[in-house]
Amino acid sequence: MIKNKIKGCIISLSSQLGHLGAYNRSVYCTTKFGLEGLTKSMAMDLGKYGIRVNTVSPTKTIINQEERYNTKKRLNLIRKKIPLKKFSTTKQIASIVYFLTTNSALSITGTSIISDGGWTAGK
């Protein structure tokens, strides 16, 4: 992008667990915290070239309807921790990514949009 003088955005997918810890998730959280830090540093380095860098950090996202039935007990335990009591869908996450590519988001860089139904609000 720099070499070709292309202004634009880089968007990574992270996780709410890039913002707080979790039991038995040390490696996963480490990678997500790293991605959040990389986003901030890259935003500072690339801003002068007109390149914005952000992450989208969802909580559990339902990929397909089969998942709702095969892991119902686990999903119910997770849902109890979400104030809105619902999971994101892939379309909702894609909408956030799309928003970050539009002119409405031209001043947004170096941050993460957390789509977790309020999970991290009380942490």
Tokens matching residue 103? 């002119």
Structural contact between residues 29 and 18, judged by C-beta atoms closer than 8 angstroms: yes
Check if 32 is active-site: yes
Query: Is 73 a catalytic site residue?
Result: no
Q: Exactly one of 5, 7, 23, 32 is catalytic; which is it?
A: 32
Single-letter amino acid code for the residue at 41: S
Pick the closest to residue 36 from 113, 122, 116 (CA basis): 113
- Active-site position among 28, 49, 72, 86: 28
Q: Enumerate the active-site residues.
A: 28, 32
